[in-house]
Chains A and B, each alone.
Chain A
């Protein structure tokens, strides 16, 4: 069976395009966005002007951006994936030299409107690049050494650039989402086994390159009570906040842990803690349900998309999205060390919001152009 553009239905006009949007996904994202604005309102102590205002503005702008992207044919993203990837690498290199420094790490580029964090965009950029790469090569070549080499380099370059910013959390998340795609594409188990052994052997050397504060974080994760006022403080206070929320929570704007400043980074990495303290188990379960629904819809779009590029991208993005959520939640629940991973859409932060909406936009584009062939 051969694909032909004309043989299958492909939306041409705007009305058709709107018709082909996945509205379950769209409204889930919109609902999550609205919840995130209220949560940010609470994180600034019940004031709109502080975090909530700019968060709402960003969500509004990027939501339109998200719909706009979904109207662009996925072929465009396939064609330009390499260019986008190289552009992002260049931005990461640029950060090395001209980046804005804050709290000991250099992660941002000053765009005057806001500070752009290219590493966040790379989370999507790598998926895009690898999806296209495995779309292009033949299934027989996937496990050949030459074809293994390129993706490995494509993963290690951004990883090294980000880990040296230093930003271990984002670097690991980029790497993990990349690995998941290569595995999905069909790279053999054996190769992963060899690489794991290599990693374990080289781990002691890698650890010696870690910054002292990064080593500390791993140590405090292993035993948070060892230094309750130091590095373990965040984990302990986060657990107290979530636990004290109980079944129904303390109520909107009544999260005492957050309101009285016991909770660190409450608008970014620990936003789920604040939400969970105020809305309890029932509210948290609803958020998890909402995220699950989004992931489910992304996978569903992947199932419906006919192109390998579309499938790989949707699955890859669904996996990455899941990993971001799982890592962030496990972190605030004390199941993983604090690595600095924002919760998609809920956390404050323009780059993260941009990256997620961009990524979701391409997913939606896969839905609109699900029957479209990719070159």
Chain B
């Protein structure tokens, strides 16, 4: 039985014990390693893995918050949110997709093309993902769906909100919203973290520039999902934060009237408060229906809009560029007076044309105006008089004055689509065209032709700054609750409340921190007086459109900007504008301020290819001016109310 020597056992036991000790030490090391790894995963990086686990666990469906509202000056909603009715389906809940789609086709309006598109969409998505069958059902369709709901297993009628515009009058000023595009995602950084499918975002106008603030912050529905992505249960909801509401300086009823006044023509109107720069009306004609874009514009409608001769999608008030025509004569005269180039007593004889260096420059009146002074020249818009003034003045001085009054630069910060226009001078021509300026161009510029390009908004600003006797204002279209009363407005209010207190000009400027645009304020008064004559005295260019009532009486300057020069033949034949083809007719301008006694508002009216300012633009301005002044009292009280409320 005892087959082994004890020495054998002892030596074996010794070896085994020694080697086991080594192995046990090794075990301790490995155990410490595992322990350390466990601690590092669970304690050090616990929160990182916790969030990874939550990322695994939760899926979030972002929900779009209600978009901020855009109101007019009186708090009327111009761009609001409306209830809309939608139909969603979840394929997993549907026993037979084909039967359901067939039934739906009979209940709501789905085109075969859309049906194919939907089928493709459904097959691409997971069974538990929602597909939107229709994002804007009519009430009739919606109630029919609800009526037959028991037969439509898996279909979900949903009530949601979407942008709604009450009318088209502010389509250009406000802009429109439409479904987010891949390009938007690339260009607009604030959209990158939004991640809401099919959300409507601002594309043009204020909808675009205020988009970030009006979007609000997105809400979400949070679901727990399993490893295959199937929803297990809803964990949390967050409705999101409503976007910011904005009040504008626009008056919706003036907007409507302006739109109505431009109904049959292509053009634009701008009305501005001459003391605080509020834009009361800004319309462009023809306009479009911004509601068509909210749920995706149809191909036919888009084609119709883009191929229209009158460019309905263009906001002509800020993006339309036109030579200012004779409206610039106010600045030509002012510049000459301010620079002491001519006196107001300068007399020129107009025989219908002047010759300069072998070139003939025509007056619009073929027979000529005879001997005219500055007041008469402005009143009758004599071209020859201003050729002479411009010749003496030179383009660089005229250009400086024009820029000072707001031409050649963007006026508002709210529109990416706004154009700066052109105020030419010798350096500009050298830089942009690469040629030297020649004197003939100065003559053309003096009457607002040639290289000059302006927008209706710029001309209304120019007129406003003449009307307020030469003080700089900053136009605005958004009314912020914390906006301070403008300096000029303060001065004006002060003048109103203390009529006996007469201040010297220096004191006025110093006390109210005003920014004068003049050297001698009398020069501006001369121009204003000449504009009064042009509208209210017999022989004035806009005499036929005057308003006799002192309350509404306005003073204005007509203008027409040439598209194509008249040939000698046409001039001889005294061809009327109506006789030439539409696209070659002159653009008609009219700028004015009102009321004459105590000016408050400035207006500019542009009628594309309208012929002459006096016949096409001035009558439109007359209608709008009347409306604006009628609403003056309402406007003053609305502002106080707004300030009290906020």
CB contacts under 8 Å to A, within B23-70, are: 23-24, 27, 30-31, 33-35, 37-39, 41-43, 45-50, 52-54, 56-57
Asked if B16 contacts A308 (CB within 8 A), the reply is yes
Asked if B34 contacts A329 (CB within 8 A), the reply is yes
Smallest CB gap from B45: residue in A: A243
Smallest CB gap from B19: residue in A: A184
Query: Is B2 interfacial (CB-CB < 8 Å)?
Result: yes
Residues of B with C-beta under 8 A to A261: 226-228
Query: Is B343 interfacial (CB-CB < 8 Å)?
Result: no
Query: Is B13 interfacial (CB-CB < 8 Å)?
Result: yes
Asked if B24 contacts A299 (CB within 8 A), the reply is yes
Residues of B with C-beta under 8 A to A333: 34, 37-38, 41
Q: How far is the CB of B334 from chain A (nearest CB, A)?
A: 73
Given A243-B48, A260-B56, A285-B38, A2-B16 contact (CB < 8 Å):
no
Asked if A1 contacts B6 (CB within 8 A), the reply is yes
Stretch of A28-36, A276-284, A354-362 that contacts chain B:
A276-284
Q: How far is the CB of A42 from chain B (nearest CB, A)?
A: 16
Residues of A with C-beta under 8 A to B227: 260-262
CB contacts under 8 Å to B, within A324-375, are: 326, 329-330, 333-335, 373, 375
Asked if B43 contacts A281 (CB within 8 A), the reply is yes
Complex Cα–Cα for A290 and B609 (A): 95
Q: How far is the CB of B29 from chain A (nearest CB, A)?
A: 11
Asked if A326 contacts B48 (CB within 8 A), the reply is no
Smallest CB gap from A308: residue in B: B12
Complex Cα–Cα for A71 and B579 (A): 125
Query: Is A245 interfacial (CB-CB < 8 Å)?
Result: yes
Query: Is A302 interfacial (CB-CB < 8 Å)?
Result: yes
Asked if A308 contacts B43 (CB within 8 A), the reply is no
Smallest CB gap from B4: residue in A: A138
Which range holds the interface residue count of chain B?
35 or more
A-B residue pair count with CB separations less than 8 angstroms: 137
Query: Is A92 interfacial (CB-CB < 8 Å)?
Result: no
Complex Cα–Cα for A260 and B229 (A): 9
Asked if A288 contacts B15 (CB within 8 A), the reply is no
Asked if A186 contacts B53 (CB within 8 A), the reply is no
Given A183-B19, A375-B1, A262-B56 contact (CB < 8 Å):
yes
Asked if A285 contacts B35 (CB within 8 A), the reply is yes
Residues of A with C-beta under 8 A to B48: 243
Contact of B53 among A185, A240, A299 (CB under 8 A): A240
Stretch of A83-91, A157-165, A196-204, A311-319 that contacts chain B:
A311-319
Complex Cα–Cα for A10 and B46 (A): 53
Given A284-B38, A333-B34, A247-B20 contact (CB < 8 Å):
no
Complex Cα–Cα for A242 and B37 (A): 11
Smallest CB gap from A246: residue in B: B46
Smallest CB gap from A181: residue in B: B16
Asked if B53 contacts A241 (CB within 8 A), the reply is yes
Residues of B with C-beta under 8 A to A184: 15-16, 19-20, 23
Contact with A along B356-385 (1 / 0, CB 8 A): 000000000000000000000000000000
Residues of A with C-beta under 8 A to B24: 299
Query: Is A295 interfacial (CB-CB < 8 Å)?
Result: yes
Q: How far is the CB of A116 from chain B (nearest CB, A)?
A: 30
Query: Is B3 interfacial (CB-CB < 8 Å)?
Result: yes
Given A139-B12, A260-B225, A260-B227, A245-B31 contact (CB < 8 Å):
no
Asked if B20 contacts A315 (CB within 8 A), the reply is yes
CB contacts under 8 Å to B, within A137-151, are: 138-140
Residues of B with C-beta under 8 A to A329: 34
Asked if A186 contacts B15 (CB within 8 A), the reply is yes
Given A260-B56, A260-B225, A375-B3, A243-B50 contact (CB < 8 Å):
yes
Complex Cα–Cα for A134 and B8 (A): 12
Asked if B34 contacts A260 (CB within 8 A), the reply is no
Asked if A288 contacts B34 (CB within 8 A), the reply is yes
Query: Is B224 interfacial (CB-CB < 8 Å)?
Result: yes
Query: Is A180 interfacial (CB-CB < 8 Å)?
Result: yes
Complex Cα–Cα for A177 and B166 (A): 84
Asked if A281 contacts B19 (CB within 8 A), the reply is no
CB contacts under 8 Å to B, within A296-312, are: 299, 302, 308, 311-312
Q: How far is the CB of A193 from chain B (nearest CB, A)?
A: 15
Asked if B42 contacts A281 (CB within 8 A), the reply is yes
Residues of B with C-beta under 8 A to A140: 8
Query: Is A3 interfacial (CB-CB < 8 Å)?
Result: yes
Residues of B with C-beta under 8 A to A322: 27, 30
Query: Is A217 interfacial (CB-CB < 8 Å)?
Result: no
Complex Cα–Cα for A113 and B238 (A): 54
Q: Which 4 A-B pairs have the closest CB atoms?
A: A243-B49, A244-B53, A261-B227, A246-B46
- 5 A-B residue pairs with Cβ-Cβ distance under 8 Å, sorted by A, are A184-B19, A288-B38, A315-B16, A329-B34, A335-B37
Residues of A within 8 A of B (CB): 1-3, 134, 138-140, 180, 183-186, 237, 239-247, 256-257, 260-262, 276, 280-281, 284-285, 288, 292, 295, 299, 302, 308, 311-312, 315, 319, 322, 326, 329-330, 333-335, 373, 375
Other contacts beyond A243-B52, A288-B38, A330-B37: 14, CB < 8 A: A138-B4, A240-B56, A244-B46, A244-B49, A245-B42, A246-B42, A260-B225, A261-B226, A262-B56, A315-B16, A319-B23, A333-B38, A335-B37, A373-B1
Residues of B within 8 A of A (CB): 1-4, 6, 8-9, 11-13, 15-16, 19-20, 23-24, 27, 30-31, 33-35, 37-39, 41-43, 45-50, 52-54, 56-57, 224-228, 232
